[in-house]
Amino acid sequence: MRRYATTLKAAALAAALALAPAGAWAQGHDEIHLPDTKFSFEGVFGTFDRASAQRGFQVYKEVCSACHAMRHLSYRHLRGIGFNEAQVAALASQFQVQDGPNDNGEMFERPARASDHFRRPFPNDAAARAANNGALPPDLTVMVKAREGGADYLHALLIGYEEPPPGVTVANGMHYNKYFPGHQIAMPPPLNSEGQVTYADGTKATVDQMSQDVSTFLAWAAEPELEQRRSMGVRMIIYLAILGGLVFAVKKKIWARLHQTEPAP
Amino acid sequence: MAEGLHDSDIPNPVLRWVDQRLPILSMVQREYGTFPTPRNFNYFWNFGALAMINLVIMIATGVILSMQYAANTGLAFDSVERIMRDVNYGWLLRYAHANGASMFFIVVYMHIWRNLYYGSYKTPRELLFMIGVVIFILMMATAFMGYVLPWGQMSFWGATVITNLFSAIPVVGQHIVTWLWGGFSVDNPTLNRFFSLHYLLPFVITGVVFLHIAALHIVGSNNPLGIEPKGPKDTIPFHPYYTSKDSVGIIVYLLVFAVIVFFMPNYLGHPDNYIPANPLVTPAHIVPEWYFLPFYAILRAVPNKLGGVAMMGGALVILFFLPWLDSSPVRSMRFRPIAKWAFLLFSVNFLVLGWVGGKPAEQPYILIAQICAAYYFAYFLVILPLLAKFERPLPLPESISASVLKHRGGGPLPAGATAKPMEKA
């Protein structure tokens, strides 16, 4: 038995070796506690709430997209949050995109098709900075994966604007946000009043609701494969567990041959 | 060797025809079929086979990823996102490849741990061990360059920090860095050459792995007792015994791998690498991948840049001298009452180094890193050489088979009672 105890101890050490340092990164130096939001896509079996993601797209389209691009998304990708082909075509056609050059060598505008990338608010980064007091609104496609805390952080950020505490001076053109690292953010509060968007499904558009919806949409945009990935993972683990049982039984049976040839204890 | 056809005993006539002319089947039969292997391996001996499987997975996923990846600073980040979204199962390939690197290091660290605990580096396996250290260093270089390819913030800044280490070399340092970069900063030429080398090095590793295995099959495997097999009763054929035992390990390995890839694919990564590389914005903390953290901690423990680089390199190079630093004839730590605890402390010490490596370079982490780095080197340079002289090892069992059967509760055996364990196998 001593032999197995050693083996186990060492295996535990190895597991710690593998995971401890990575976990250690997760703590930022600045102690900010994010409120833990209950999102539909959390947990092993969580899926994106389609209605919420669609409302979130509406928030993005009517509010965020004034400044933030999502350059890795095409309109056709919206099928992933439950829009059908006709709805996607109709959504896309609301936007004018540049195409060309045509036979005369000129660029021209046309309504977007499902295959087009999301229209960008600015032609280039310099234009984006010029329009935003020198700050560059980041692309939002993978924002949920690019921040500690993911969707929880985005939701917290969107509802985290408040008056600066006494003694704190906010620089010109900046805004105080209790969840932003350093607390001074260039983005003015984007969701600032109830009913800022009108939801077609009758959901009350509170700031918190809009923020949750757009966070859900952005979580989907960052990981559109999430549902497929997890369901494949569950099947993979069931398969490996069964196969592992069989392989272990085979190993036992083979090694039993070795034991037969020795005197019984 | 005599010329003419090889004397093959393969029954199938077609395969025999091939084998007589190119005895590759005989070789496989000899090296992986009947190959006499100590009968007392524990599951720690799975990790060599797992590393081999892992290498195959990395090359297979990597070759396919490279068909979709664009090694250009303007395209790299977007091409990776395109793989994640628009390539069929591209997310699976990329997550398997990125986390496969972490799995590779878990497996190889365990493989090295087993080597150190059971004294596998000692004669006659010194060269086998040194070839293994070469593989480990090649792996580190490959993994580092692979992490640069997605061209996120950590890619760029990691590349900047690590390549800048060479500037610590007196006189020629800065010239070497410029030469590595292919310019005056980490830029498109750097990305291009890193991609080229990232594709090349795994095949170099494959070649060195074959040397590793060839050397292994000359001197034979070590085992948990650290004593050489004395006769046929101490060994069993590799197949079916260790093929079946390795298969169990492979399934467990795949289970761990699957949990990471399917349920926490970004846990071992860093969020900043989903921000496109920006030479004008430095991340608050530049941290390398977790598997480099112990060595990164040693680097930062030394206040002098050249000293830190030398210590970090020394932490790896010292392994080449280990077979001679530890001159105790007893291999397995099971029979070394003091060395065993010194080594277990070394293992914990290594984990602590990894932990401080991920912390900001400030007190008390610097002090902890300095103490741990000191113990890392003391273990090799002071403790092992002294213990080889002064430690009294426990008595070694007379043979592998005697020990195996005693473990099973059979008591001491009359000589010859287990003479031919292979008869019915």
Question: In the block, which residue shows the tokens 């007589």?
Answer: B20
Pair A201, A123 in one domain: yes
Q: Which of residues 111-170 of A touch B (CB under 8 A)?
A: 138-139, 141-142, 145-148
Query: Which residue among A6, A148, A251 sits closest to B244, beta carbon to beta carbon?
Result: A251
* B198 annotated ligand-binding residue: yes
The answer to whether B264 and A253 are in contact (CB under 8 A) is no
The answer to whether A45 and A221 are in contact (CB under 8 A) is no
| Average confidence (pLDDT) over A167-190 | 91
Report the pLDDT value the prediction gives residue B288, as an integer from 0 to 100: 92
Per-residue b/e over A63-79, b at no fewer than 16 CB within 10 Å? bbbebbbbebbbbbbbe
pLDDT at A7 over 60: no
In angstroms, the CA B281 to CA B155 distance is 13
Are A257 and B425 a contacting pair at CB < 8 A?
yes
For residues B284 and A48, which has the higher predicted lDDT (pLDDT)? A48
Contacting residues of B for A180, CB less than 8 Å apart? none
Instruction: Give the other-Cβ count within 10 Å of A182's Cβ.
Output: 10
CA distances from B169 to A140, B41, B165, B304, B396 (A): 42, 45, 8, 12, 48
DSSP state, A161?
B
Pair A51, A170 in one domain: yes
Query: Which residue among B117, B259, B267 sits closest to A22, beta carbon to beta carbon?
Result: B267
User: Domain for residue A141, yes or no?
Assistant: yes
Per-residue model confidence as pLDDT tens digits over A77-124: 999 999 999 999 999 999 999 998 999 999 999 999 999 999 999 999
User: Domain for residue A178, yes or no?
Assistant: yes
Find, among B388, B346, B370, B368, the residue nearest to B117 by Cα.
B346
Are B420 and A261 a contacting pair at CB < 8 A?
yes
Pair A212, A253 in one domain: no
In angstroms, the CA A223 to CA B224 distance is 45
> Helix or strand or coil: residue A177?
strand
Find, among B84, B218, B101, B206, the residue nearest to B148 by Cα.
B101
Binding residues of A for heme c, by number, are 64, 67-68, 187
Which pairs from A256-262 meet CB under 8 Å and 24+ separation?
Answer: A257/B424, A257/B425, A258/B39, A258/B236, A258/B241, A258/B421, A258/B425, A259/B408, A260/B424, A261/B418, A261/B420, A261/B421, A261/B422, A261/B423, A261/B424, A261/B425, A262/B405, A262/B408, A262/B410, A262/B418, A262/B421
Which pairs from B186-192 meet CB under 8 Å and 24+ separation?
Answer: B186/B156, B186/B159, B186/B160, B186/B279, B187/B73, B188/B72, B188/B73, B190/B148, B190/B159, B190/B163, B191/B71, B191/B72, B191/B73, B191/B76, B191/B148, B191/B149, B191/B151, B192/B71, B192/B72
In angstroms, the CA B143 to CA B197 distance is 11
Are A240 and B254 a contacting pair at CB < 8 A?
yes
Q: Which of residues 17-76 of A touch B (CB under 8 A)?
A: 17-18, 20-22, 24-25, 29, 44, 71-72
For residues A1 and B208, which has the higher predicted lDDT (pLDDT)? B208
Find, among B367, B157, B356, the residue nearest to A21 by Cα.
B356
The answer to whether B163 and B177 are in contact (CB under 8 A) is yes
Report the pLDDT value the prediction gives residue A260, as an integer from 0 to 100: 67
The answer to whether A203 and A211 are in contact (CB under 8 A) is no
In angstroms, the CA B288 to CA B295 distance is 10
Closest-CA residue of chain A to B96:
A229
Pair A247, A186 in one domain: no
Pair A129, A251 in one domain: no
Query: Which residue among A3, A17, A247 sits closest to B251, beta carbon to beta carbon?
Result: A247
pLDDT at A5 over 50: no
Closest-CA residue of chain B to A230:
B262
Per-residue b/e over B338-357, b at no fewer than 16 CB within 10 Å? ebbebbbebbebbbbbbbbb
Are A232 and B293 a contacting pair at CB < 8 A?
no
Report the pLDDT value the prediction gives residue A44, as an integer from 0 to 100: 87
User: Domain for residue A29, yes or no?
Assistant: yes
pLDDT at A13 over 50: no
User: Domain for residue A129, yes or no?
Assistant: yes
User: Domain for residue A183, yes or no?
Assistant: yes
Pair A202, A255 in one domain: no
Pair A230, A219 in one domain: no
Report the pLDDT value the prediction gives residue B312, as an integer from 0 to 100: 95
Report the pLDDT value the prediction gives residue A15, as an integer from 0 to 100: 47
In angstroms, the CA A185 to CA B18 distance is 72
| Average confidence (pLDDT) over A134-147 | 94
User: Domain for residue A14, yes or no?
Assistant: no
Distance from CA of A95 to the nearest CA of B (A): 22
Active-site amino acid positions of B? 217, 221, 245-246, 289
* B6 annotated ligand-binding residue: no
Q: Which of residues 74-93 of A touch B (CB under 8 A)?
A: 77
Question: In the block, which residue shows the tokens 């390995």?
Answer: B253
Domain of A251, in residue numbers: 225-265
Find, among B40, B1, B53, the residue nearest to B23 by Cα.
B1
Instruction: List per-block mean pLDDT (blocks of 10 residues) for chain B, which spans 425 residues.
Output: 82 95 93 92 96 97 97 96 96 97 97 97 96 98 96 96 93 94 95 97 98 95 94 93 96 98 95 94 90 95 93 96 95 95 97 93 91 96 95 92 74 43 39
Q: How many domains does chain A have?
A: 2
User: Domain for residue A148, yes or no?
Assistant: yes
| Average confidence (pLDDT) over A122-137 | 92
pLDDT at A6 over 50: no
Report the pLDDT value the prediction gives residue B164, as an integer from 0 to 100: 93
Report the pLDDT value the prediction gives residue B412, as an integer from 0 to 100: 46
> Is residue B113 packed enough to be buried (19+ CB in 10 Å), middle (13-18) or exposed (0-12)?
buried
In angstroms, the CA A230 to CA A225 distance is 9
Report the pLDDT value the prediction gives residue B285, as an integer from 0 to 100: 86
User: Domain for residue A255, yes or no?
Assistant: yes
Q: What phi-psi label fits residue B89: left (phi over 0), alpha (psi between -120 and 50 degrees) or beta?
A: left
The β-bridge relationship of strands B235-237 and B36-38 is antiparallel
Q: Tell me what ipTM this predicted complex has.
A: 0.88
Model pTM?
A: 0.90
Pair A217, A249 in one domain: no
In angstroms, the CA B82 to CA A73 distance is 10
Pair A159, A241 in one domain: no
Pair A194, A152 in one domain: yes
Pair A67, A123 in one domain: yes
Pair A219, A254 in one domain: no
What tokens appear for A23 in the block?
A: 């976990």
> Helix or strand or coil: residue A214?
helix
The one-letter amino acid at B410: G
- CB of A243 within 8 Å of a chain B CB? The answer is yes
Report the pLDDT value the prediction gives residue B421, as an integer from 0 to 100: 42
> Helix or strand or coil: residue A223?
coil
Mutant choice from A70, A142, A232 vs B, greatest count of B C-beta within 10 A: A142
